[in-house]
Amino acid sequence: MQLNGRTVLVTGGARGIGLQLTKQFVAEGAHVVAVGRDRASLARLQLAGPGQISCWALDLSDPQATDAFIRDLPGRHPTLSVVVNNAGVQTLTDFLVEDPSALRPALQEEIALNFEAVVAVSTGLLPHLRRQPSAMIVNVTSGLALAPKTSSPVYCATKSAVRTFTKALRYQCEDGAPNVRVMEAVMALVDTDMTAGRGSGKISPAQAASEVIAAIKRDRDEVYVDRAKLLPILMRVAPGLGERMMRRG
């Protein structure tokens, strides 16, 4: 897949991995529609890439706002052909210590942003993508989709759900819309605001973005970023060990 001249949607496109994806897509000659909730970050991004970046302030955990965005986007950007569902949030939770009812609003937002929005954007834009000569949907998951960690059970569940949804959507497109590729990008631990103070051995957002874009250009069905490459092998040959390693995040 050649990226020069394409229009690419990146959710969460003004911070962390999404910011680096936006910058690297622009460097490849693409026009990027960057979606996010942080208006200040979007404003800085817009100034950095006039003419090559269009910023859209949107809370993807709001289903009505998301539906309106899906309706409006193809009309504003008729050449859109790549969609990267990258936006996400992680809530650390201990259901034995915290009040589950008090946690519910944050967890509902986590499910809405991490999973429901991915389904809405992927399927809502699919009719438009099917009309393009070639197109791709990229859904960002995590090694935690293969083996969860103790401290973020809902986050892990949403990433596992996105993983399964992505594979099934790929099957449908292979059978009925072969011009639309569906790729899963399985992240390792990346140094972002979300992971501040957690874990060690993090890679940079720039490295993560670079590996994803390289996989897009090669028309891959999936890419395991950095250390995540080892996880599928480990889960096949020693699943108990893999789960113990991931359990503490």
Catalytic residues: 155
At 108, list the tokens: 């509902």
> Which residues are bridge partners to 136 per DSSP?
82, 181
Inter-residue contact 66 to 120 (CB < 8 Å): yes
| CA distance linking residue 8 with residue 14, whole number of Å | 14
CB atoms within 10 A of CB 20: 23
Q: Residue 7 is inside which H or E element, if any?
A: strand 7-11
Please give the angle made by the CA atoms of 197, 202 and 206, to the nearest 5 degrees.
115
Cα of first residue to Cα of last residue in the chain, in angstroms, is 34
Instruction: Count Cα atoms within 13 angstroms, Cβ side, for 108.
Output: 8
Cα distance between residue 38 and residue 121, in whole Å:
19
CA 3 to centroid of chain Cα atoms: 18
Instruction: Tell me which DSSP letter residue 138 carries.
Output: E
CA angle (198 as vertex; 196, 199 as ends), nearest 5:
130
